[in-house]
Amino acid sequence: MAVKPSKADKKIAYDAKLCQLLDEYTQILIAAADNVGSKQLQNIRKGLRGDSVVLMGKNTMMKRSVRMHAEKTGNEAFLNLIPLLQGNVGLIFTKGDLKEVSEEVAKYKVGAPARVGLVAPIDVVVPPGNTGLDPSQTSFFQVLNIPTKINKGTVEIITPVELIKKGEKVGSSEAALLAKLGIRPFSYGLVVLSVYDNGSVFSPEVLDLTEDDLIEKFATGVSMVTALSLAISYPTLAAAPHMFINGYKNILAVAVATEYSFPQADKVKEYLADPSKFAVAAAPVAAAGGGAAPAAAPAEEEKKPEPEEESDDDMGFSLFD
């Protein structure tokens, strides 16, 4: 007969398992497990089996094990996990891609009815249409101020009604009505709250960033650095081209206003001294762009046949016959 392990033995085994996982895995997803059933959690474990391990437990036990393991190994990066162990949370240790694992976890959500006293995570809207309930059930709708009408012996909701707002507690009338309508408005599953990667902790929204998003954010940062550098006249690599161009413009303005000159300013002065050269320079461009159209016009005129003169005699009689 197998000996049932004591609570102390279970704690020792749990501590050993958590420490082993901390040494083996460098990536951890901290996920909230509110309203997640045992069957649902079992399906999540099956779906992640292979490169990920889901570990649940009491927060005090996990904090103690993490703290002692950090002191034992000298790796203080583990201590970043302690502030994240708040509420009903679990740890998902993984060696796979963090984004793919997070998406896999999100797949295992199941619908749940609205229970009395439960805080609504989303707005609940009852859609219009036939409810299939007999007219004796109108009292539920009247209590909740839902406009209805009787259509073919059943109750029909006329307009969509916001029954419960996000953050409100579900009342007994709302719960009974949703149960009668067969509406399961809420869905629950593991929700990733934070991501731990080699000692760094960040929000799961970072996993949704693409390469284009990173390039766009980098370009925005470079433009801000450039604008700040130009505003305070502080040279940086990003602002250097703009500073050179602005410097050239200033020197060119001085050269134009005075007798001082340099090779890059000679041509500008030449154009300013004889404005007709602007027209000479623009003529070849205009000829290249619009020369083809006038040349094609005479050819079309030549191809166009001349209309034949109409005569009343063609029909064998004149106008006054």
Mean pLDDT of the 43-60 span:
88
**Residue 312 confidence (pLDDT) above 50:** no
What is the SS3 assignment for 126?
A: strand
292 in a structural domain: no
285 in a structural domain: no
d(CA 71, CA 127): 57
d(CA 196, CA 55): 15
Over the chain, what is the mean pLDDT? 81
Report the Cα–Cα distance between both ends of the chain, in Å, rounded: 133
Q: Tell whether 40 and 169 lie within a shared domain.
A: no
Domain edge (last residue) among 273, 290, 314: 273
* pLDDT at res. 19: 92
* pLDDT at res. 27: 92
Please report which confidence band the pLDDT of residue 287 belongs to, taking 50, 70 and 90 as the band edges. Answer: low
Report pLDDT digits (tens) over 173-205. Answer: 888 888 888 888 887 888 889 999 988 899 888
Mean pLDDT of the 210-219 span:
86
Strongest mean pLDDT among 201-210, 218-227, 281-290: 218-227
Q: Tell whether 165 and 244 lie within a shared domain.
A: no
pTM for the whole thing?
0.60
Q: Tell whether 92 and 132 lie within a shared domain.
A: no
* pLDDT at res. 196: 92
Total residue count of the chain as it appears in this document:
321
* CATH number, residue 132: 3.90.105.20
Q: Tell whether 69 and 124 lie within a shared domain.
A: no
Q: Tell whether 98 and 18 lie within a shared domain.
A: yes
Q: Tell whether 84 and 124 lie within a shared domain.
A: no
Domain edge (last residue) among 207, 237, 253: 207
Q: Which residue has the higher pLDDT, 268 or 93?
A: 93
Q: Tell whether 98 and 201 lie within a shared domain.
A: yes
Q: Quote the domain boundaries for residue 176.
A: 118-186
* pLDDT at res. 289: 57
* Chain centre distance of CA 102: 15
